Amino acid sequence: MEWLFAGLGLLILLLAGDLLVRGAVNLALRLGIPALIVSLTIVAFGTSAPELLISIKAILDNAPGLALGNVVGSNTANILLVLGVPAIISRLHTARCDTRKSYVVMLMVSVGFVALCFLGP
């Protein structure tokens, strides 16, 4: 019975992911903005919501290590698996856009996060 639920959950996840991507592309087309902007905001928040809720629950249960591990592990898996596996399967084609400012902001946030981890509150 557990295998049936796992398979059903995977099927629902695949269908929901497809609907999310199609909806994000349609939203970008309707608003006339690049799909990258929509994916960096709406899709990113939607896919990160479970981690956010788990981290909030961990903090409320006085388990800060669980919250931190959840965030770091989720981000590591997202970077390595969600971007890496499709890149291995097929070449990734992206529209040319200037992301240098985004890289600087991401680098500053990452350095700040590491500093907070080592220095503590």
> For residue 21, what are its two tokens?
């991507």
List, for residues 10-21, the tens digit of each pLDDT value. 899 888 888 888
- Distance between CA atoms of residues 103 and 16, nearest Å: 30
- Please report which residue ranges of the chain form alpha helices under DSSP H: 2-31, 35-38, 44-60, 64-77, 84-89, 100-119
Residue-range domain boundaries for the chain: 7-94
- Per residue in 83-113, pLDDT (tens digit) is 788 888 888 777 776 667 777 888 888 888 8
CB 28 within 8 A of CB 34: yes
pTM: 0.52
The answer to whether residues 24 and 35 touch, using CB atoms and an 8 Å cutoff, is yes
